A and B are shown apart, each in its own frame.
Chain A
Amino acid sequence: MLRFILSRLLQAIPVIFIVITATFFLVRAAPGGPFDAEKVVLPEVKRALEAQYKLDLPLHEQYFAYLGDLTRGELGPSFKYPGRSVNEILFSGLPVTAELGFYALLIALLIGVTAGVFASLKPNTRQDYIPMSLAMIGICMPSFLLGPLLVLVFGIYLEWLPISGWGAIPGDKILPSITLGAAYAAYVARLSRAGMLEILSQDFIRTARAKGLPEWLVVTKHALRGGLIPVVAFLGPAFAGLLAGSFVVETIFQIPGLGRFYVQAAFNRDYTMILGTTVFLSTLIVLFNLVSDVAAAWLNPRLRSQFSGGKS
């Protein structure tokens, strides 16, 4: 197991390195620069700014200087927000985005697994079609539609819940979490249904039923563990996706998270910010994929025996 993890970690390093290099040169190849503005910038001012941000150096020197800073954990000063470092902005937004992603994932799992398992118990009946159709709608419904709808109903007409902010007013975390979690709940529902159907058709389940175990015990004790492997494998990329993709929800609900900076940085040509967020999120994605692979392997008895035999 340890060797598996180590080899995966080693594979991750060149991946992240390629991401850094490609991003570094791609953002600089894009037309327009961080200091272009609607009102023309005087050439002297532009030179002074470029000197302050070391953009006057040759590109390869900038690249190596950036790699040097990176090894020290320095992501550089933001172009758009003078006086703030990219590190500072990332770490102010990350806890919020992570918390939002965590709740969204929790909601996705609770709704998704329940619906998926429920549907799998009586495949191709109404009990299957209704939750699965709802799940399809959930997948298709974009968060920029669901969010405002929820706001309209629960925030403005019913006045039950706050409609924006994060942690300022009690209850303001509910609507964004549901909005972000809904699409993932739908995926989880479909994955857990598929996983459960496969497991429920296997011999050991028939044995368990033959022993006279009540159905709910067959499901929770025997089937769920194997049936949820596809869901677990999905969780890593899902959580990374939630972190990187919360932009829309953060904008709708005015949440001070990471997603807004990530997207705006590209529009602003905020080179250090684009690089910082990309490097940071790609590292997270690689790590979460690894974690979910390990968890899926641990849940799957066949793979687990390979690891414990140490012959992987």
Chain B
Amino acid sequence: MINRACRGLRLQQGLIGLLLGLLLGCGAGESNVASGNRDGILHYGNGAEPQGLDPHVVTGVPENHLIRALFEGLAVKNPVTLEPEPGVAQRWEFSDEGRVITFYLNPEARWSNGEQVTASDYVWSWNRALHPETGNLYAYMLFPVVNAEAYSKGEIKDFSQVGVKALDDTTLEVTLNTPTPYFIQLMDHYSTFAVHPETLLKFGKMTDRFTPWTRVGNIVSNGAFVLTDWALNRHIKMAKSDLYWDRDRVSLNGVVFYPTENVVSEERMFRVEQLHYTQVVPLDKIPIYRELADTPYIQAPYLGTYYYLINTDRPPVDNVKVRQALSMAVDRDKLVRSVLQHTAVPAYSITPPNTLGYYPPQLFSYDPDRARALLAEAGYPNGEGWPGLEIIYNTQEAHRKIAVAIQQMWKSELNIDITIANQEWKVYLNSVSQRDFQVARRGWIGDYVDANNFLDLFITDGGNNNTGYSDPIYDDLILQRAPRAQTREERYALFEQAETMLMEQMPIIPIYTYTSKHLVHPSVEGIYPNLMDSLNLKYVTLDPERALPEVLR
């Protein structure tokens, strides 16, 4: 009997020993940053597990970072100025008043299997990107190309009618519908990248979305890095490519990307030096980081606008005076100061300031007296007879705080009652696309640095318009006149004219311009803040001598 009891005790001891053995083996060891600085490996917080790595299938910011490390477009962006510079194409020429672009490919550009990157690879890849069966969400990036839209919609079956031709191995000729000044920029967007045709065909049809061609060991790419390991939800590892044409410029030996969905955990990982770089910074930590001397916190204006979308067919916001009154009664400076901790820039129009030299007009400012007068003219003096108004937003604490602040501003300045309602993300998207709202939160992040990317949202029946705003003169300015402008100045003047029309009608209430926010370890050099939050890893170097400020350790 005593033996059995002892066995019981031994079992318990065994369990404890097992548990300790499994869990421990303790000690936090050398940090990622220390080993990374020694071996030339960047540890990069990438926000989320990517959907995948197929440039014509996936969309999203984390995917963008990964794909642009593995692949390279015809042109890339200078990380400081964002102006295009050579990628796969060494140079390009415009002819026929900018309608025809001839790209001269670098004969040294190589796929990671050693084959040359050719012009016909681009023709094949653009066929795939545009093919109706591929279901590429970003197919429209190539719509400036002659017949691309018709091919993508299935109206034309013959791809040879689309305006892209391989004249020889290194010469690619692209014909556009109209001169498109930002077209070269689009060559740095992953949806226009070339993929290696034989590799894709080895695993399936050209238009298949589900094949394993992007897995480790299968993928063939043409960028500065090659994929070496992909552990789902753990990390994605890349190593410097020995075949990349500009390999001498690449200083890093490799990059490890982490899916850092939890922003609070990401910041903690940064503090214990598990990461060189974080994708975001928790809002409540920002004031603390700002205070530091030699702070690792970097904030820069970002090509995106946060605004309220107005359904101009629903009373009381069908009245332009009500819309103007609401917009003028929002104290954006206060909002940015108190709710947003100075992490945003007040916005009075849709296009972010200094979008490649373009500044939007400012037609109004915070003016509660004028707002009250407008509301009275609209028939609601001091809020009397106000029928009520609802703001919807997708469920997220940050959006709620802003909605509550604006609700209070409108109540105190205009004496009107506002209800706010949160909706789960997909329900919210459905409400917006069905136009089942009065006022809805909205954000727009530019795909390329050009005012057109913001202003063409509001053309009549534009897919992302959702406001009911429609003006044939506006449409003409954006669709016909601006693309045909001869100079940048002329074009920007047309944009300004259009944006003035838009903000007079106020189908949206602009609130703020986004910023990008990162923590960057002092050892990392070559990361430049810019409007696209665009990072080109080939310029990044690591200096092991530089350490985090002592207070963070």
Contacts and interface: CB of A to CB of B under 8 A. Distances in A.
Contacts of B425: 32, 267
A170 B51 CA distance: 29
B206 to A, nearest CB: 13
A294 interface: no
Given A81-B52, A156-B271, A45 B262 contact: no
A80 B26 CA distance: 37
Interface in B11-69: 12, 15-16, 18-19, 22-29, 49, 51-52, 54, 57-59
Contacts of A174: 23-24, 26
B22 A221 contact: no
Interface in A39-60: 39-42, 44-46, 48-49, 51-52
Given A40-B433, A164-B274, A77 B210 contact: yes
Interface in A143-182: 148, 151, 155-156, 159-166, 168-171, 173-174, 177
B272 A107 contact: no
Contacts of B132: 44-45, 48
B443 A42 contact: no
B231 interface: yes
Contacts of B134: 48
Contact of B210 (A82, A93, A148, A260): A82
Contacts of A110: 12, 15-16, 19
B486 interface: no
B262 A252 contact: yes
Contacts, number: 178
B265 to A, nearest CB: 5
Given A89-B232, A254-B265, A269-B426, A45 B137 contact: yes
A155 B152 contact: no
Contacts of B27: 170-171
A84 B265 CA distance: 27
Interface stretch (B2-10, B73-81, B293-301): B2-10
A40 B26 CA distance: 50
A255 B59 CA distance: 24
Interface in A238-265: 251-254, 256-257, 260
Interface stretch (B253-261, B366-374, B502-510): B253-261
Contact of B152 (A44, A52, A173): A44
B139 A45 contact: yes
Contacts of B463: 40, 42
B1 A155 contact: no
Nearest to B4: A221
Given A36-B433, A45-B136, A267-B424, A164 B28 contact: no
A31 interface: yes
Contacts of A160: 26, 28
Contacts of B23: 103, 171, 173-174, 177
B264 interface: yes
Interface in B119-169: 132-137, 139-140, 152-154
B413 to A, nearest CB: 30
B232 A256 contact: yes
A92 B259 CA distance: 15
Contact of B232 (A33, A92, A252): A92
A106 B430 CA distance: 45
A280 to B, nearest CB: 16
Interface residues of A, number: 66
Of A36, A173, A224, most B-chain CB atoms within 10 Å: A36
Contact of B262 (A46, A217, A251): A251
A254 B262 contact: yes
Given A48-B134, A103-B22, A220-B5, A83 B214 contact: yes
A34 B466 CA distance: 20
Contacts of A82: 51-52, 54, 57-58, 209-210
Contacts of B29: 169-170
A120 B271 CA distance: 44
B250 to A, nearest CB: 26
A109 B16 CA distance: 11
Interface string A280-301: 0000000000000000000000
A225 to B, nearest CB: 10
Of A30, A80, A103, A169, most B-chain CB atoms within 10 Å: A169
B480 interface: no
Of B2, B139, B209, most A-chain CB atoms within 10 Å: B209
Interface in A16-40: 30-33, 36-40
B25 A171 contact: yes
Contact of B272 (A84, A159, A269): A159
Interface string B414-438: 0000000000111101100100000
13 contacts: A31-B427, A32-B425, A32-B426, A33-B426, A42-B140, A45-B152, A52-B135, A160-B28, A171-B23, A221-B4, A252-B264, A254-B262, A256-B232
Instruction: Please provide the 7 A-B residue pairs with the shortest distance between their CB atoms, ordered closest to farther.
Output: A32-B426, A40-B463, A256-B233, A48-B135, A49-B135, A170-B25, A171-B26
